[in-house]
Structure formats: C-alpha cells, structure tokens
Amino acid sequence: MPFYNKNHSVETKLRMIEAKSAYPVYIYNSFRELLVIFPSVKTLAKLIQSNHSTIVSFITCLEGI
C-alpha cells in the first residue's frame, strides 16, 4: 500500500531517528546534572544549526579530557 499524501507520527519519526543513530548525545551542565538527551548527533546539529562533523569532533576532543 503506498504512503502517498500521508505523514509519519511524531512517535514514528523519533523511532526512525533512534534506529538510524549510532549513539545518543547526553548534555550535562557544569554540575554534571543531566539536562537533555538527543537521540542522535544529527538531531542536535539541526537544533543548534551546526553540522554533524563539528559536533563529533568536539565530542571526541572532550572524551580525551
């Protein structure tokens, strides 16, 4: 059955994002309290109008600290 003129629900879209992502992104404040969890780097990049590679580079740099 074709999917013409139909839209995915928000829940379905979230499940598709989670399925495609390699790992979620956890954002903490300076007190190490969890603020938010993004299902993927791509989702975070879209929200803050950045690109995937910049965020991945930053995360990789922080993991070395």
Give the pLDDT score at 28.
92
Q: With 90 as the cut, is the pLDDT of residue 61 above it?
A: no
Q: How many whole angstroms separate alpha carbon 38 and alpha carbon 35?
A: 10
Give the pLDDT score at 1.
65
Decide if 40 contacts 13 (C-beta within 8 A).
no
Q: pLDDT class for 5, splitting at 50, 70, 90?
A: confident
Decide if 21 contacts 42 (C-beta within 8 A).
yes
The answer to pTM > 0.85 is: no
| DSSP letters for 1-65 | ---TT----HHHHHHHHHHH-SS-EEEE-TT--EEEEES-HHHHHHHTT--HHHHHHHHHHHHT-
